Structure formats: structure tokens, C-alpha cells
Amino acid sequence: MAEVAVYGAWASPLSKRVEIVLKLKGVKYEVIEEDMSNPSVWLQNYSPILKTVPVLIHEGDPVVAPNVILEYIDETWTGNPIFPQNPKDRAKARFWIKFIDEKCVPAVMLACWGREMVQQMATQEAYNCLKALEDELRGKKFFGGNNVGAVDIAAIFLALWLGVIEEINGVKLLMHDQFPLLSRWVNDILSCSIIQETLPPRDQLITYLRTHNPNSFPSGT
């Protein structure tokens, strides 16, 4: 195994989060592709509690949980930091990452995929979450400021996966006239070459998600 390896899955936004950060920092790594519905013995050994991707292996030691991995990478390879240096801004970034993973993404998933009786409430919750992120983007190109930061990387779900599940379900949440800043952010982040080359092709993701239960995705929490 290489010095740095990622147990990941090509369709997982959480896996891709880790790969994007490694690429931004110029860290060479090997991907060990996992089937999310059937985790390998190796993955289960390295991550006995979560049993899910992503897992980062660095010099033989496993680091688990996507956001723990992000902070570990930023602290270990200190070039091109993705977290702000200032403690207050770092705290804000951590807050927004937690918000995206624990409030925004679940609300969006329920709004698109939930049963009818929960969908209406979930849709309202999803709009509230997107509005909060829209407000946070005010005056900035990226959540990280002029450059892509940890919050942008955490929000990558919204840049690609959201559009895909909207299309599959015939739902539109991220509407341009309601969320102009977030819509512009989606274009800007997808234009970054490192992000483009790391994310899965959209049509491949559409085909995959049409036939695979998205609730089998590992959650961010």
C-alpha cells in the first residue's frame, strides 16, 4: 500500500471530499475502491465502528469520519491550508461543515426522496438551509473567501449530487432566482480544475443513483 491511501467510493460525496483535499495539497495517494453496499473485510478492520467510506490510511494508521479526516489532512500537510488560520474563522468553518452535514444534506435528501407526508416539511427545511448558506456566501466568491476552503469542499454535495437527485426526482430546490449566489457558487466550484478532475462524471452518477438507494450512502455524521 502507498504511504497514503483512501478507502473510498466513486459515487460518494464524502469520499470525494477527502480526495479533493489531498489533491489540493498535492499529496499522492492510492484509492481502494469500495462497494458501499458491501464493505470489504479490510475496510471493516480499519473502521470497525462506522464500517463505511471514507477511511484515510496514513503510514498504516486509519483515520475515520470525513470531517475528522479533513482536519487531519490539513494539520499533517500544512501547505495550501483549507481551514482558516484564525481561530474564530476556523470555528465558523467547523460550524458550517456541521450544518451542511447534519441539517442541510439530510433535509435535501428527504425533500427529494422522502415519503409524501414528510416531503413538504422537508422541502421547507431544505429551503431554510439553502437560504442560510446563500446568506453566508454574501460578499464572497467561495465560502472560504477568494479560494476554495473546507466549507466549499464539504458543500460539494450541493454542487453535483443535489442537481443529480433533483433531476432524477423531478424536484427543483436550488433555483437560480431564489439562490443566485449559491447557483453562481456551483458554477465557480465546478470550474476549478482539481475539482472537475476528481468528481465523478454527471451522467454516470445519474445512472448509478437511478438504481441505487441513496440512503445507503454513508452519512456525514
Question: At 61, which helix (H) or strand (E)?
Answer: strand 61-64
* Binder of another protein out of 20, 55, 65, 165 (CB under 8 A): 65
* Binder of another protein out of 25, 98, 140, 141 (CB under 8 A): 98
* Binder of another protein out of 7, 10, 29, 72 (CB under 8 A): 72
- The contact mask relative to another protein for 23-62 (x = CB under 8 A, - = no) is --------------------------x--------x--x-
Q: Does 140 bind another protein (CB under 8 A)?
A: no
Q: How many CB atoms lie within 10 A of CB 45?
A: 11
Cα separation of 50 and 64, whole Å?
8
In the complex with another protein, which residue's Cβ is closer, 153 or 209?
153
Q: Does 64 bind another protein (CB under 8 A)?
A: yes
- The answer for residues whose C-beta is within 8 angstroms of residue 167's C-beta and 6 or more apart is 206
In the complex with another protein, which residue's Cβ is closer, 10 or 143?
143
Q: How many CB atoms lie within 10 A of CB 216?
A: 9
* Residue type present at position 200: P
- Rule CB under 8 A: which residues touch another protein? 49, 58, 61, 63-65, 68-69, 71-72, 75-76, 87-88, 90-92, 94-95, 98-99, 103, 132, 221
